[in-house]
Amino acid sequence: MLKFFSFCCFIDKISKEDLVFALKLLLSSLDYYVKSYEFIIYTNFDIDINNKNLIIRNYYDNKIIKYCDGDTTFDKWFNLSFNKINIYKDLYDEYNENYIWIDLDTVIVSDISYLENLDNFFIEHGGNTNEPFPIVHNHFDLDINRTIQGSTWKLNIQLYHSFMETLEELNKQNLRICYDFQGLVAYHLYKKLNGQINEQNINVLGLNCHVNTINGLSIWTDFITNTNVHCNIIGLQNLYYENEVLKSNYHPNKEIHFLTCTFYSLNEIKHTELFKELFKHLLTF
């Protein structure tokens, strides 16, 4: 059984309606493609969803790691996002299992039950662009196609402790991660480990594990830049099914198993007729 966790929290950034829509779509996609799963959602408002696989819990801020001290919407989002690593550890301590984090603005488009056989995995942007992308402010950039996305990941407890050691090292040097936990992972894999992920038994989907897949935001474009990494109508027009497998004209030799989106850009395409046609089998709620 795959075991997921995520947050559905209102912080004045994404509306409650859009948060719930994304959660329903994600659950619908899991119901359709995955044989057996459990999903724990942490929320700070009432959610009325009847799904036998869903466990609803009150969100809490575990302040073991709090990355921003301010109170702006960005600070709240950053701390909410970084709190994923704290809740992962709490779940591990509670169940002695490694739960998979997944963003609400992600859609499953294939049977990903094979992830049960991996004790860790990450998703990279992927694609063909090697434009430098900031990972740690004024300290470390990485080719954008190699950058790690925070949308979906699974840790083992050894990796958790390794990442916390790396974070402590960065803090002692007064170095700041650009993109919360995903930046920490990228820094650890490609700066501290110098890219030796095979030697450390670290799995990056599409790179050294299930190399026939592409799951990052690169599915939406053939050329990723710092400002062009979100889903869009042109990218949507380039999606198609081949023998019930979702693909993109930009990367026709790769299968898509995770349709990675961002909330604002998902909101721009989810009401289009093309989106409804491509994913009508999932829009049943």
- CA separation for the pair 105, 122 (Å, rounded): 16
Q: Kindly indicate the confidence band of residue 74, based on its pLDDT and cuts at 50, 70 and 90.
A: low
pLDDT at residue 62, as a whole number: 73
3 phi and psi angles, rounded to 5 deg:
-125, 120
* Homologous superfamily of 2-278: Spore Coat Polysaccharide Biosynthesis Protein SpsA; Chain A (3.90.550.10)
Question: Picking from 58-62, 171-175, 226-230, which range would have the lowest pLDDT averaged per residue?
Answer: 226-230
In this predicted structure, what is the pLDDT of residue 65?
56
Report the first-to-last Cα separation within the chain, whole angstroms: 24
Each residue's pLDDT tens digit, 253-262: 999 999 999 9
User: How high is the mean pLDDT of the chain?
Assistant: 91
Q: Of 14-28, 94-108, 193-207, 212-226, which range is least confident?
A: 212-226
Q: What is the three-class DSSP state of 124?
A: strand
Task: Categorize the per-residue pLDDT at 108 as very low, low, confident or very high, splitting at 50, 70 and 90.
Answer: very high
Domain ranges of the chain: 2-278
Residue 77: predicted pLDDT = 60
The β-bridge partners of 133 are: 142
The residue to which tokens 């995770």 are assigned = 258
Q: For the range 25-31, what are the long-range contacts, defined as Cβ-Cβ under 8 Å and sequence gap of 24 or more?
A: 25/107, 25/270, 25/279, 25/282, 25/283, 25/285, 26/102, 26/104, 26/106, 26/107, 26/108, 27/51, 27/53, 27/54, 28/282, 28/283, 28/284, 28/285, 29/107, 29/108, 29/109, 29/282, 30/4, 30/108
What is the mean predicted confidence (pLDDT) over 99-104?
Answer: 97
Q: What percent of the chain has pLDDT over 70?
A: 92
Placement of tokens 């994913």 in the chain: 279
- What pLDDT is recorded for position 152? 97
* pLDDT tens digits along 6-45: 999 998 889 999 999 999 999 999 999 998 999 999 999 9
Distances (CA, A) of 158 to 90, 256, 270: 15, 29, 39
